[in-house]
Amino acid sequence: MKKRLLSALLALALCLSLTVPAMAAGQTFTDVTSGHWAYEAIEDMAARRVVNGVGEGKFAPDDKVSCADFSTMVARLLFPVELGREGTASPWWKAGADVLLEAGALAGTTARAYYERLENNWDSAVMTAPMTRYDMAQIMYNTLKALDFTMPSGSELSAARAAIADYDDIPSDYSAAVTAMYALECLKGMDEQGNFRGSQQMDRAQACTVLMRMLAKYDAQLPELNIKNFPSEDTIEVGNIIVFEFDNFHERAWSEIETSDPNIVQVTGGSAIAGVAPGKATVTITVHLGGKSQAVPVSITVVKAVGGETVGANSSLQTIREEMLALINRERAAAGAAPLTLDDKLCQAAQVRAQELVQSYSHTRPDDRTCYTAMDEAGVTYRAAAENIAAGYFSVAEVMDGWMNSEGHRTNLLNTKYSRVGIGFYYSSSGYKTNWVQMLAN
């Protein structure tokens, strides 16, 4: 793994991740004691936030599991990055179902059959009804195939078929999945005779158990995490961002970052940190691969940025605008361009856009309209216009330096056809914190 230092401009590379906490200590649920047959599996899946309680401190281990439930569990366990990209969805299970659908993990299941009948729409009744052990086996089998897992050998599959007492009763569409999962010992018979009884329904305790077994098998085929020679300390300026990247790691490895003091160092974009204020904080980078994790602590010293007064939530907007206008016109004078004037209506539009950047860092507004509609709404008349945006800079001098070192932004700033400028600045407690906008017009 390596680190990359950058300043935040339009081409920021964002990474999504989910938080996987450390294993919980002690009993998590009042209705699953240490003597329960699935205690270890339930505690393991709960600690990984694959499953949640049902309220009042209970887990309800005997409650039946639907395809909606199981899809969400599998997505949380083995497709966390893909699930993070889905964001929030309605109903609550749709994101997990969509992730498994895209991975091919629902192929051959009842849920997928009804999805196709409804012209690529989920059937809520089917998704939330108790699922069978057949569909459970199919999802597990498809999931491991999607993860390039090496399946059992021919002799192992033959032995598994012979061990399943009711093998001849298994529908042909499910036989490969049941046999493979039986051979891997992810699934077992439901009685002493070894009958699989695939038409029976799953419960929550069984779901946790089979997922723990499947994760152990998957982990056994993954390489060990072995992060070495990673710096134990580093220094960055206020407003700078460090992106931590993988180097020669497994394609499914992903990371998360925690900070000891978000007022000094803020985690942003999942795999990056931003210097917020002078001071020291410890960030912990944890690399995950399947069920394996390795944490690396790094001591970060944040120092005041060189060049310009640091801005924050209480900074004077008018002062920011006047300082930026002076820097703009200094650059234009050096390039032989006439100075710009600060336009009230353009400033109004730019301020609206600065607040919108928190929702959508793009020249497209959160409602999918072009940024220039903000000018129209503010009553700005123009023949030509341009917009510069930036985020993560903590002084006027820094953001101007960033724009002037970017060809497209510099071209806008020095363009002789523009005579007016609007300047917007918005400080947010989340994301990149500082959001900057220039709107230029003639």
Give the DSSP per-residue string, 164-206.
Answer: -TTGGGS-HHHHHHHHHHHHTTSS--SSTT----TTSBPBHHH
Q: Which of 291, 288, 289, 307 is nearest to 401 (CA)?
A: 307
* Enclosing H/E stretch for 236: strand 233-237
Per the CB < 8 A criterion, the answer to whether 439 and 375 are in contact is yes
Quick one: pLDDT at residue 410? 92
Quick one: pLDDT at residue 66? 97
Residue 46 backbone phi and psi in degrees, to 5: -70, -40
From residue 179, alpha-carbon distances to 100, 132, 148, 187, 202 in Å are 21, 16, 18, 9, 18
Rg, Å, the chain Cα set:
28
CA 134 to chain CA centroid, nearest Å: 31
Look up residue 406 and give its DSSP letter: S
pLDDT band at 256 (very low <50, low <70, confident <90, very high): confident
Q: How many Å apart are CA 331 and CA 336, to the nearest integer?
A: 9
Tokens 């569409």 correspond to 173
Torsion on CA atoms 37, 42, 47, 50, rounded to nearest 10 = 160
Mean pLDDT of the chain, nearest integer: 88
Q: Is 50 helix (H, G, I), strand (E, B) or coil?
A: coil
**Hey, which of 129-138, 284-293, 353-362, 383-392 has the most confident mean pLDDT?**
129-138
Quick one: pLDDT at residue 225? 86
- No. of H helices and E strands in the chain? 15, 12
What whole-number percentage of the chain has pLDDT above 70?
A: 91
pLDDT (average), residues 73-95? 90
**Length of the chain in terms of residues written:** 442
Per the CB < 8 A criterion, the answer to whether 307 and 398 are in contact is yes
Q: How many Å apart are CA 389 and CA 386, to the nearest integer?
A: 10
Give the DSSP per-residue string, 364-379.
Answer: B-TTS-BTTHHHHHTT
pLDDT above 50 for 23? no
Select the more confidently predicted residue: 269 or 229.
Answer: 229
pLDDT band at 85 (very low <50, low <70, confident <90, very high): confident
pLDDT band at 14 (very low <50, low <70, confident <90, very high): very low
Q: Which residue type is seen at 389?
A: I
Q: Cβ contacts of residue 236 below 8 Å, gap of 6+?
A: 5, 242, 273, 275, 300, 301, 302, 303
Per the CB < 8 A criterion, the answer to whether 165 and 195 are in contact is yes
Q: How many Å apart are CA 31 and CA 54, to the nearest integer?
A: 11
Per the CB < 8 A criterion, the answer to whether 140 and 186 are in contact is yes
Q: Which of 83, 239, 214 is nearest to 147 (CA)?
A: 214
- Structure token pair of residue 321: 């605008």
Q: Cβ contacts of residue 193 below 8 Å, gap of 6+?
A: 165
pTM flag (> 0.75): no
Quick one: pLDDT at residue 308? 59
Q: How many Å apart are CA 200 and CA 3, to the nearest integer?
A: 51
Q: Is 245 helix (H, G, I), strand (E, B) or coil?
A: strand
Quick one: pLDDT at residue 183? 97
pLDDT band at 7 (very low <50, low <70, confident <90, very high): very low
Q: How many Å apart are CA 267 and CA 222, to the nearest integer?
A: 28
Quick one: pLDDT at residue 18? 28
Per the CB < 8 A criterion, the answer to whether 130 and 167 are in contact is no
pLDDT (average), residues 134-138? 97
Of 63-72, 115-124, 157-166, 327-336, the one with minimum mean pLDDT is: 327-336
Select the more confidently predicted residue: 301 or 314.
Answer: 301
- What number of other Cβ atoms are within 10 A of residue 255's Cβ? 20
- Which residues are registered as beta bridge partners of 420? 341, 441
pLDDT (average), residues 168-172? 96
In the sheet that holds 241-245, the strands lie side by side as 2-6, 241-245, 272-275, 265-268
